[in-house]
Structure 1
Amino acid sequence: MTNRRHPMIKLSAHIEKLPLKQPFHITGYTFTACDALVVTLRDGECSGRGEGLGVYYRHDTPSTMLQQVEQLRDTIEQGITREQLLELLPAGGARNAVDCALWELEASRANTSVWQLAGLRRPESLLTTYTLSADEPEVVDATARSFVNARALKLKLTNDPLNAERVRAVRAACPDAWLMVDANQGLTRESLMRMLPTFVEARVAVVEQPFPIGNESWFDGLNYPIPLAADESVQDRTDLHGLEGRVQVINIKLDKCGGLTAGLTLAREASALGFRLMVGNMGGSSLSMGPAFVLGSLCSVVDLDGPMFIQADREPGVSYRDGHVWCPDAVWGGSHTIAA
C-alpha cells in the first residue's frame, strides 16, 4: 500500500470553451472560440484561480496544458511555491494558469490583494486598445465606428493587398483615436516600407511584430520612424537581448512567459534595457485579464480587451468605460474564497 499525505491544497483543472461573438482574423488564422484551461486551488476557505489559453502558434494548447498540470498534480497539492513552479513547468499557458492561481491563493490566505503582494501601487483604470480584426475595409470601418467609447485602437493587418485601405478606414472612422497596427508576422521589409506613407498619414503610433519569428535580423538598419514592437519574437526574458537595438516596445503576455511571476521579472529586465512595456493577451475571459491588469500598471501600452469578443464573460468581470479597462480585486487578485 502506498502512503500518501493528505493534500494541503485541492487542485481543480478543466478546459472551458469561450465562443466568440464573431470570427476574428489575423495573419494565417481565423478564430471562432477561445479554449481556456481553468485552474482552481483551494486551501480550506481560501482559494486562487488562473486561466491560460496557451500560445497557439507554438502548439501550446489547453489539452496539452491540462496534461502538464495533471502530471504535477501531486506536487502542486502537497504545496508548491511560485519559484518552484518556474523550475517544474516551461513558459506557457499551463504555468500561467497555475502561477496566477498561486498568486490569488496567497492573497486569499493573507487577506490582502495581489498588487500589494507584488509591491505595486494601487491600481487605476488603464487606457486599453480595442482590437479590430483584419476584415474587409468596409467591415473594419463599421466596426471602428461601433467602438463609440474607444480612445485607443489596435488594427490587425495581414499579408494581402488591403492593409493600406484598412488603415485609412480606421483613421477616417476614428480621427482622434490613438492607433497601433499589428501584422502578426505578416510583413516583409519591403511591404513594411511600402506601408510607411500610409502609417505616417494615419498617425500610427506603434507597429507590432511586422516580421516572422526567426527573421529578427530584418529589423537591422531599418531606422523606421515609427516605434516597432515585438510580440511573437519575445516569448520570455531569454529573448530580450536579441531584440536590443531592433525594437522599442516589448509586448508581455502571461501565456507566453508563463505567469505573473515571470511577467513581472520580464517587465523589470526589459525596462532596465530601455524597452517600453506593453501588456497584451491571447484572448479569454476576465480571469485572464485580471493578472494582466496587475502587470498593466507598469506598462505604457495596454491591450486588455479579450472579454469584449467572447459571447459571455464571467461574473463579476472587468469593466470597460470611456476607453479604459478596470479590474476590481473582486474579479481577480483579492482575498477570494469559493464555497465548497
Structure 2
Amino acid sequence: MDSYTLIWVRDARSRPVQFAIPKYRVKQAGIAAAVVMLIGLVGTWDYWRLRADNAELAELRVEAFEQREQITLFTNRLEEVGQQLTRVMDLERKVRIIANLPGTAGVGGDDLAELAPHVEGEVALPVGVPIGMGADDSSGFESRNRRGGQGGGGPLPEFGSSSAHDVFFESLDHRAVELGDGASARADSLEVLLGQLDDKRQRLVSSPSIWPSKGWLTSRFGARVSPFTGLRQHHSGIDIAAADGTPIHAPARGRVIFAGRKGPLGNALVLDHGFGVKTVYGHTKEILVKTGDTVERGDRIALIGSSGRSTGPHLHYVVEVKGKTRNPLDYIFD
C-alpha cells in the first residue's frame, strides 16, 4: 500500500469518512516538522547566546569605562610627576650653576660649554644623577629606578583577571603618588639649598677680596706713630702708596653711598657691600662714580691722589664690618 487510510466516525449513526494520505506526504510532513523543531531549537539557543553576550558586553563596557577613568587619573598623576621632576631638574641645574658643579652646561645657543669642565684624574658626575650621589652610585640609582623608582615597592602584578587589572592600576597610582611626593620633597629641599647657595654666592660676590689698587703697602692696620703728631694712635685701615692718578678698583660688588669731601680724608668714597660690610677710600684725586651707583668687583671707581690730610699720593683703605673697622688684609685674597 502506497498510502495511509484514516477513518473518521462522528457518531454511531453517521457515515464514516475515509481519508487516504500518501506515504510520501507523511514522510514530507515528518521531515518538515523535524526541520521546524530544529530551527526553533537553533533560534532559541541563538537568542539566549545573544542575550548572554549582550550582558557580558555591558559588563565589559562598564569595566572599560572604569579603566578609562583609571588611565585618565594615572595619566594626570604622571603629568604631575613629570612637572615635579622637571622642577627638580631645573633646580638641580641652578644649584650646579651656583655651586659650579660638574655637569653644568651654559644656557643659550647651540654651543654649550661646561662651567666646570672635567679635570683629568677626577671622576665627573653624570648629568642627571641626584646631588649627593657619586658617579659610582649611578648604576645603583638606575637599577633602583628599574625596580620601582623612588619610594621602593615590589614588582608590578601581571595582567590577568579584572581584579589583577584593578591591583595593577592601584599599584601604579600609588607609585605615581609616591614618586610625586618624593619629587616634591626633593624639589623643596633643593629650593632651600638653592636659597642658601644663592645667599652664599651673594655674600662671596659682595665680600671684598682683592687689592683695591696697585702700589706699595706703606702703613698697616692697628697702632702706629702718626706722621703728623708723632704720637702713637690707632690706624683704622691700610695705606697703599702709588703714582698720582693710579686707578682704584672696587674689591667687590657694592653700592656707592657717599662720594665727596670727608674731612681729613679729602675726596673720599664709601661703598656698601651689604651684609653689614662697607669699604672706605680716602685721599683720592678724582672720584669716577656717584652716589647711588652700583659697581662690580674690578670696576674703576676713583684715582689715587693726595687730597685732604696727606703726605703724598696714596690710598687710605678701610674695611668696616657692622660698624667696626677690620684689618683690610684679612679681606684680600689675590
Same fold (TM over 0.5): no
Normalised to the residue count of structure 2, the TM-score between the two structures is 0.21
Choose 1 or 2 for highest CA Rg.
Answer: 2
Normalised to the residue count of structure 1, the TM-score between the two structures is 0.21
User: Which structure exhibits the higher relative contact order, with contacts defined as CA atoms closer than 8 Å and separated by 6 or more residues?
Assistant: 1
